[in-house]
Chain A
Amino acid sequence: MAMQSQTNSVMLEIQNLQKFFPIQKGFLRRTVGNVRAVDDVSFVIREGETLGLVGESGCGKTTTARCILRAMQPTGGRILFHTAEGRVVDMAPLSRRELRPLRPQMQMIFQDPFGSLNPRMTLFDIVGEPLLVNGLTNRKQRTERVAEMLRLVGLRPEYMQRFPHAFSGGQRQRIGIARALALHPRLVVADEPVSALDVSVQAQVLNLLLELQDQLHLTYLFVAHNLSVVKHICDHVAVMYVGKLVETAKTEEIFNRPKHPYTAALMAAVPVSDPRVPIGDVELKGEVPSPANPPSGCYFHPRCPCAVDRCRVEMPCLREIAPEHFVSCHRAEEVSLAGICMD
């Protein structure tokens, strides 16, 4: 899959995406500042590929995903979606009504399989609802489609009249996947699809996602904080820090040759399940700053082991330092990250 990346056409292009949440104070609810949850994020997802969006909590990865699906109205930027008909649509300014015909092409898989399924709806209602909303009113046809979807995700169609409480976490996540795929979407946004599952069940769902991608030629935007999972299923990885994209590259490239000190530190912080691997002594000092009150210059400079004066005043912009490898760091070329790197 990774090899096709040059030839695959672009499915989604995000340009300078911004999402600010106003901070309101006082009786008149005056806006006194902004939480810059997503600030100037740009990336490209090609057809049939998986982009992993990683970062720590509060870095804006979920907000980015929601803006792309237009579950939120972005503050600025462009979301260029290449539709099945070959048109390029900027989804950012579209109204709800204008979005309706595009919605079936992009769907979401949620993190929490216990919160994302209505306990009072049967599987038939849950998986059939997107079909009903999009005009498949014939109950018999809908039953057939729901059965087909359930088989696709490895559930028995006989379960159709049961309620979600009868299923385990892994099975519920399969139901959520069936619902997302019911309309044959081209882009699937998976927001931490396995992090709420037990370790012994995670592999089942990851395998299913990989299988479905092959079978249905899906494009995934995979939001996760677990780097091992991201490395396993993503073709490209984008790393976010305090609302900013700090680095994006091919999975292999970013894991073997991270160029941003934050990426390197993030990877070094992941505990490896092998007792022979020596414990990394390099740790990041301090904490993630608040996106409402970010530091000056490069947002990462207070914690960065390689920071210089320039980092304190000037915000770096994302630039290409190798083919398909973008970094926003002033010192990406000069600094060796060997000490922080994984191997």
Chain B
Amino acid sequence: MATKAPPLKPELKPLLSVRDLKAYFPLDEGLVKAVDGVSFDVLPGQVLGIVGESGCGKSVAMKAVLQIIDPPGRIVHGEVWLAGRNGDGAGIDIAALKPNSNEMRKIRGAEIALIPQEPMASFSPVHTVGSQIIEAIRLHQPVDKSAARRMAVELFQAVGIPMPEQRIDSYSWQLSGGLRQRAIIAMGLSCNPRLLIADEPTTAVDVTTQAQILNLLRRLQKQRGMSIIFITHDLGVIAQMASYVVVMYLGRVMEQATVNDIFLAPKHPYTQALLRSIPNVKSTPHVKLPIISGSIPHPFNRPEGCPFHPRCEKVMPGICDRQIPGLLPVGENHFASCLLYADTVQKPDGNGQESRSQKRKP
């Protein structure tokens, strides 16, 4: 039942390993399982893309990694292993740390930094952007104010903000959308994190600005060699940014594979349908698009079994609505959580008795 940890490239030790992470929101109306058993690895220097529609739990999963889920939400199960700084040591399970502990506060910002989705809401409007970045630097590094200011100016330069000495003293509302996004990236980089989580960093900006920000992130990643978890709902952005992709739906990982496998040889019916249904600039115009029927279920009435089965065109009645599939290997470094690929599918009425009943390849 529980998602098995997929072994990824054993020769490279992952920087961050998330194992069967579950984060639930107990509300008066019911229990919202925002993240329900998510596992993935981030390798050093890798850009991992997490793609999913709204409500799929991608943002909550990242907040869980940083332990900043808004109450009443909390992590109910799972492990988040962060490798030790120099590749030695066993690393630490940050999901086991207390959210307000000193250890956790040392990790946030310094080891794992977050670029939030809405830069306007992330900066305080009554402090200059510079003072907020200087605060972050001084919180994690033993430097004095003037040195921190110099570092902040350098960061502004690195993210391509013109006239950094002047801009550092401006307020967030004086900056344009693109500059604000660059400033928030500078803040994320301020303590040289090993992992940068970018949560939809370009959804609030226009397409030409988006191209600038994506180029900037690519350049910074190459220069600094850090890992990036890139969250988005835009499959185009994922294709251009990520090297490894995790596809999420209703709090679960549906498929994970290299970017080429996801786009050129998707295995999970959800990924396949999603890729077919989006028009792209190269598709034939005016032709009816293949659709995914129905809509995303409300979080209070999640379907039994595989969360995608009510909308799936390859649904196996009596099987998909009973069993929750775990991540199964379907190729090299390619995992799909779909019962189509299960060698042994439990018969609906068999109590623990396994039979080789279903093995289909699409």
Contact = CB atoms under 8 A, between A and B. Distances in A.
A56 B205 CA distance: 9
Q: How extensive is the interface on chain B, given as a class?
A: 35 or more
Nearest to A285: B212
Contact of A232 (B54, B236, B259, B286): B286
Contacts, number: 148
Given A200-B53, A342-B281, A284 B296 contact: no
A280 B212 CA distance: 11
A122 to B, nearest CB: 20
A334 interface: no
A203 B295 contact: no
A225 B207 CA distance: 8
Contact of B208 (A171, A265, A276): A265
Interface residues of A, number: 51
Given A199-B277, A275-B239, A269 B208 contact: yes
Given A232-B285, A273-B236, A273-B263, A288 B206 contact: yes
B47 to A, nearest CB: 12
Contacts of A57: 206
A203 B278 contact: yes
A272 B286 contact: no
Contacts of A2: 286
A169 B288 CA distance: 20
Interface stretch (A40-48, A72-80, A102-110, A204-212): A204-212
Interface in B277-325: 277-283, 285-286, 288-293, 295-296, 311
A168 B53 CA distance: 14
A198 B279 CA distance: 13
A328 interface: no
Contact of B285 (A169, A204, A251, A268): A251
B291 A273 contact: no
Interface in A308-324: none
A284 B280 contact: no
A277 B263 CA distance: 12
Contact of A198 (B53, B240, B293): B53
B120 interface: no
Interface in A1-48: 1-2
Contacts of B214: 271
Contacts of B289: 203, 206-207, 232
- Residue of B177, B281, B282 ringed by the most chain A CB atoms within 10 A: B281
B295 A171 contact: yes
B234 interface: yes
Given A169-B295, A199-B278, A271 B234 contact: yes
Nearest to B288: A207
A291 interface: no
B107 interface: no
Contacts of B215: 279, 281, 283
Contact of A274 (B54, B177, B206, B263): B263
A211 B288 CA distance: 8
Contacts of B240: 271-272, 275, 277, 279
A252 B53 CA distance: 30
Interface in A173-223: 198-204, 206-207, 210-211
A112 B235 CA distance: 22
A225 B89 CA distance: 49
B296 A198 contact: yes
Nearest to B276: A203
A200 B273 contact: yes
B222 to A, nearest CB: 12
B209 interface: yes
A272 B278 CA distance: 11
A307 interface: no
Contact of B279 (A1, A169, A201, A228): A228
B239 A168 contact: no
A270 interface: yes
A273 B208 contact: no
A266 interface: yes
B8 interface: no
A333 interface: no
B176 interface: yes
B208 A56 contact: yes
B176 to A, nearest CB: 5
Given A203-B292, A271-B239, A272-B282, A283 B275 contact: no
Contacts of A211: 288
B211 A280 contact: yes
A159 interface: no
Nearest to B236: A271
A44 B237 CA distance: 34
A287 interface: yes
Interface in B180-216: 206-212, 214-215
A267 interface: yes
Interface in B134-185: 176-179
Contacts of A271: 210-211, 214, 234, 236-237, 239-240
B291 A203 contact: yes
A229 B283 CA distance: 10
Interface string B221-249: 00000000000011111111000000000
| Among all A-B residue pairs, the 4 with the closest Cβ atoms | A271-B236, A232-B279, A56-B206, A269-B211
Given A56-B209, A269-B211, 8 more contacts: A200-B292, A203-B278, A228-B278, A231-B285, A232-B289, A275-B264, A283-B211, A284-B212
27 contacts: A168-B296, A198-B296, A199-B233, A199-B274, A199-B277, A202-B278, A203-B278, A203-B289, A228-B278, A228-B283, A231-B279, A231-B283, A231-B285, A251-B285, A269-B207, A271-B239, A272-B281, A273-B235, A273-B236, A275-B263, A280-B211, A281-B215, A283-B208, A287-B177, A287-B178, A288-B206, A342-B281
